[in-house]
Structure 1
Amino acid sequence: MGFFRDLSKQAKRISDDREFLGFIKVIESLVSKVLSLAMIAVILVSVVDLIVYLWQDLFFQQPVGFFTTTVIKIFGFFLNILIALELLDNITAYLKNHAVQVELVIITSLVAVARKIIILDLEKVDGLELIGLAIAILALSISYLIVRFTNKSSHHDHH
Structure 2
Amino acid sequence: MIDRSEQSLAKLLGLVLLVVLVAGTVQLTIGVTAAVLQPDTPWLSSKINAVLGDLLTLLIAVEVLQNVTSYLRRHVVQIELVLLTAMTAVARKVIVLPPGAENKPELLGGLGIAVLALAAAFWLVRSVNIRQPPARTGPAIRSPEQDP
Which TM-score band (shorter chain)?
0.7 to 0.9
1:90 aligns with 2:67: yes
Structure 1 residue runs of 4 or more that deviate by more than 6 Å after TM superposition: none
Aligned to 2:139: none
Matched ranges for 1:135-146 at <5 A: 135-146=113-124
Aligned to 1:7: none
- What amino acid maps onto 1:80 in structure 2? T
> Deviation string for 1:46-101 (max 9, x for gaps)?
100101111222224x616x637532221111101100000000000110111211
- What amino acid maps onto 1:86 in structure 2? E
Aligned to 1:154: 132
1:75 aligns with 2:59: no
Q: Number of matched residues?
A: 133
Distance 1:141 1:128, change over 3 A: same
1:40 aligns with 2:18: yes
Separation in 2 of the partners of 1:63 and 1:98? 51
SS in 2 for 1:145: helix
- What amino acid maps onto 1:24 in structure 2? I
CA contact (8 A) 1:47 1:81 kept: yes
Separation in 1 of the partners of 2:128 and 2:16? 32
* Residue 122 of structure 1, CA deviation: 4.3
Choose between structure 1 and 2 for higher RCO, CA contacts under 8 A separated by at least 6 residues.
Answer: 2
Aligned to 1:50: 28
Distance 1:153 1:123, change over 3 A: same
Separation in 2 of the partners of 1:81 and 1:48? 11
* Residue 124 of structure 1, CA deviation: 3.6
| Percent of pairs with identical residues | 33
Separation in 1 of the partners of 2:68 and 2:116? 25
* Residue 38 of structure 1, CA deviation: 0.5
Could you tell me which runs of 5 or more consecutive residues in structure 2 were left unpaired when the two chains were aligned: 136-148
Separation in 2 of the partners of 1:150 and 1:45? 38
- What amino acid maps onto 2:11 in structure 1? K
Q: TM-score, normalised by structure 2?
A: 0.83
Q: TM-score, normalised by structure 1?
A: 0.77
